[in-house]
């Protein structure tokens, strides 16, 4: 009878282990990427090579190293190169599970005819290609995932993640050849929270490449995932991840620690000592109810645990499946249909970066479609990343970026449609001036200031616009300003981290002297452009229209001359008549002149400007030393309006 009780408990144990096995046995799919640019024909040699390859990968997935690469095909032209990598802590069985799921699902569900593919599960990564992919560090295509839950003390958490991951890099990269390039670490974040972190490279990489891959992956963390409880960056060649829960088997990784046995159950096991003489019947009478209740208790307990586990797994799935890139991507057919095949009737204008069309999506939403004419300096992946970042910038004074479309050479940005045209459309056409009385102009100046303040200081990205001008300020139905074309330098891969660039993006007349001359840009160069914009709004004159005749050479010197002479109301757009607030006009002009001072340090920040515009008790300093453009003849300036030069990165 004692043996009966033991076997019943064993049954419970067995059931328990079955439960934990089943929850582990389903490898969780995360993401796949396969371009339909290169596809194979069904029943072709490529397909049969691929089939053989996947079979060999799957059958070699119990190797201790959790990695295998193979090539199938006599002819290099139609050879298939493939590999898999299991997470370093997986047992050979778990690795095999994951790899065989991956090899099946990738061709059956995700990439039936694609020659090049990569798929990630929690436990493994599988990829193949029609070209050699071994011992080559590849960081494209890539995928970022983050936990949806926010972390407290995000800055400290992010720092901790970055240092912990960086500490792990040499451990993985320096692993001896033939060993896993894998490392994990747990650190305490708070008394209650531990951070679990992991880095891994495919072991075919050199230690130099592994190091490079991981470090590059780590640099993405602040932009993709700050403020969140966990993140992963997945490259074909390496992966990093951190969470506040253990997502790898700690025992399997750490140096062998005496594993604590399954404690709770043995406690119930030992038969009461010295009771062997008690009759079997009595034992049954005593033990049976206990066992039954123990079994019931465990069933209930496990049921609860499982429910809880599946709930958190679901939550985590929801967290990770959020795929911003996908939600921002429009397909070309949709865009083509929306714009009536980019018909001339739909054309709204031509900007520096390409032509802009009006479009209507099938759901009736109006959009503005910018078909980029210039090739970006960066790869598709980088381009998408930047778009995701720029799309996150949302402010009522910024034109919202809704998404993008990539198709072959076509690169298209999709924006919200802003019904009225740009500020210059109203400003330079006297017969449209009626729409722009002083109170509207004043409101527009304030709105632009708020939008710029957001770009410079309040958003996570801290973007310098670099091309703020009247034609980049759109007006909505209530004549509220919305700044457009921000983030273009980012999207085009112009280095933002350096305050210095050989490629100048901007419009003459709005560009600060240090930018025109030395390519030095900063938030203060935007402030300069904002100052010019104020002068343009006040005077109703184009800055460039002053490059002519004898008189003052440009709007700027014209403005400061009137300022010094105290004849500033002569500077004002005559169509405003008498309906303006003298105080507001003077204040705006003064702010405008402060913004265009020659020394960037003297120019106020957008935050101060916003304050000056809204708070009349602040006394403004006197503008000094405006940066006269005619003293900055570093580039030929043209008299003719049509030749306003715009320089863009090529």
Residues lying near ligand NAG in the complex (CB under 6 A): 36, 42-43, 56, 59-60, 69-71, 134-135, 169-170, 173-174, 187-188, 204, 211, 331, 333
- Residues 6+ positions from 490 with CB-CB distance below 8 Å: 386, 389, 390, 461, 463, 496
Whether 467 is catalytic: yes
Sign of CA dihedral 436, 438, 439, 441: positive
Smallest gap from Cβ 52 to ligand NAG, in A, equals: 9
Nearer CB in complex with ligand NAG: 160/187: 187
Smallest gap from Cβ 207 to ligand NAG, in A, equals: 6
DSSP 114: B
Smallest gap from Cβ 173 to ligand NAG, in A, equals: 4
Find out whether 482 and 418 touch, Cβ atoms under 8 Å.
yes
Smallest gap from Cβ 230 to ligand NAG, in A, equals: 18
d(CA 163, CA 157): 10
C-alpha distance across the termini of the chain, in Å: 85
User: Vertex 38, ends 35 and 40: CA angle to 5°?
Assistant: 120
Q: Is 340 left (phi over 0), alpha (psi -120 to 50) or beta?
A: left
d(CA 395, CA 399): 8
| Catalytic entry in 89, 467, 526, 554 | 467
DSSP 389: H
d(CA 172, CA 208): 11
- Number of residues written out for the chain: 650
3-state secondary structure of 636: coil
Nearer CB in complex with ligand NAG: 42/270: 42
Nearer CB in complex with ligand NAG: 169/198: 169
Answer yes or no: is 370 a known binding residue: yes
Nearer CB in complex with ligand NAG: 294/406: 406
Smallest gap from Cβ 31 to ligand NAG, in A, equals: 16
Nearer CB in complex with ligand NAG: 209/514: 209
d(CA 529, CA 536): 10
Smallest gap from Cβ 326 to ligand NAG, in A, equals: 12
Structure tokens at 558: 């014209």
d(CA 462, CA 526): 12
DSSP 263: -
Nearer CB in complex with ligand NAG: 168/393: 168
Find out whether 540 and 433 touch, Cβ atoms under 8 Å.
yes
Write out the catalytic residue numbers: 467
Please state the residue numbers annotated as binding site for ATP.
370
């Amino acid at each position: 009878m004692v043996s009966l009780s033991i076997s019943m408990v064993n049954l419970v144990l067995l059931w328990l282990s079955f439960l934990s096995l089943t929850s582990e046995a389903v490898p969780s799919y995360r993401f796949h990427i396969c371009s339909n640019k290169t596809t194979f024909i069904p029943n072709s040699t490529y397909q049969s090579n691929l089939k053989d390859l996947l079979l060999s990968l799957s059958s070699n997935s119990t190797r201790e190293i959790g990695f295998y690469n193979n090539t199938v095909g006599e002819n290099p032209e139609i050879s298939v190169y493939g590999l898999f990598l299991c997470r370093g802590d997986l047992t050979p069985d778990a690795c095999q599970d994951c790899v065989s799921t991956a090899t099946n699902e990738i061709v059956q569900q995700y990439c039936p005819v694609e020659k090049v593919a990569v798929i990630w599960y929690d436990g493994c990564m599988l990829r193949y290609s029609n070209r050699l992919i071994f011992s080559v560090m590849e960081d494209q295509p890539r995928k970022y995932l983050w936990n949806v839950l926010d972390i407290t003390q995000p800055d400290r958490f992010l720092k901790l993640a970055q240092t912990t991951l960086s500490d792990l890099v040499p451990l993985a990269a320096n692993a001896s050849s033939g060993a896993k390039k894998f490392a994990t670490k747990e650190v305490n974040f708070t008394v209650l929270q531990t951070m679990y972190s992991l880095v891994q490279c495919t072991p075919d990489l050199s230690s130099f490449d592994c190091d490079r891959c991981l470090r590059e992956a780590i640099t993405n963390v602040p932009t993709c995932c700050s403020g969140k409880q966990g993140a992963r960056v997945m490259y074909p060649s390496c992966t990093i991840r951190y969470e506040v829960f253990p997502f790898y088997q700690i025992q399997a990784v750490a140096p062998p620690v005496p594993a604590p046995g399954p404690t709770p159950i043995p406690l119930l096991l030992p038969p009461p000592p010295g009771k062997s003489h008690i009759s079997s019947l009595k034992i049954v009478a005593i033990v049976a109810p206990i066992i039954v209740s123990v079994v019931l208790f465990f069933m209930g307990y496990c049921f609860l645990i499982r429910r809880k586990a599946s709930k958190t797994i679901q939550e985590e799935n929801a967290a990770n499946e959020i795929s911003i890139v996908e939600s921002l991507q429009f397909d070309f057919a949709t865009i083509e249909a929306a714009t009536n095949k980019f018909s001339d009737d739909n054309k709204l204008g031509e900007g520096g970066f390409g032509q802009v069309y009006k479009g209507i999506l099938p759901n009736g939403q109006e959009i503005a479609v910018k078909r980029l004419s210039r090739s970006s300096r960066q790869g598709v992946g980088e381009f998408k990343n930047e778009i995701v970042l720029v799309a996150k910038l949302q402010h009522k004074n910024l034109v919202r970026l809704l998404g993008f479309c990539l198709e072959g050479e076509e690169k298209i940005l999709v924006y919200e449609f802003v019904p009225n045209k740009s500020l210059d459309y109203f400003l330079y056409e006297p017969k449209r001036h009626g729409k722009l009385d002083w109170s509207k102009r004043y409101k527009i100046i304030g709105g632009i200031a708020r939008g710029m303040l957001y770009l410079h200081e309040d958003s996570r990205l801290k973007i310098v616009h670099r091309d703020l001008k009247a034609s980049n300020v759109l007006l909505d139905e209530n004549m509220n300003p919305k700044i457009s074309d921000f983030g273009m330098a980012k999207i085009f891969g112009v280095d933002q981290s350096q305050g210095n660039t050989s490629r100048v993006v901007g419009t003459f007349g709005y560009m600060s002297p240090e930018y025109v001359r030395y390519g030095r840009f900063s938030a203060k160069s935007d402030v300069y452009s904002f100052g010019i914009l104020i002068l343009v709004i006040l005077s109703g004159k184009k800055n460039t229209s002053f490059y002519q005749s004898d008189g003052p050479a440009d709007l700027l010197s014209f403005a400061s001359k009137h300022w010094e002479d105290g004849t500033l109301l002569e500077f004002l757009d005559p169509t405003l008549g008498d309906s303006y607030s003298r105080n507001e006009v003077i204040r705006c002009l003064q702010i405008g002149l402060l913004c265009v001072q020659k020394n960037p340090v003297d120019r106020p920040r957008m935050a101060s400007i916003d304050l000056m515009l809204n708070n009349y008790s602040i006394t403004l300093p006197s503008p000094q030393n405006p940066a006269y453009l005619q003293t900055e003849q570093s580039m030929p300036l043209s008299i003719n309006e049509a030749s306003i030069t715009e320089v863009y990165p090529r």
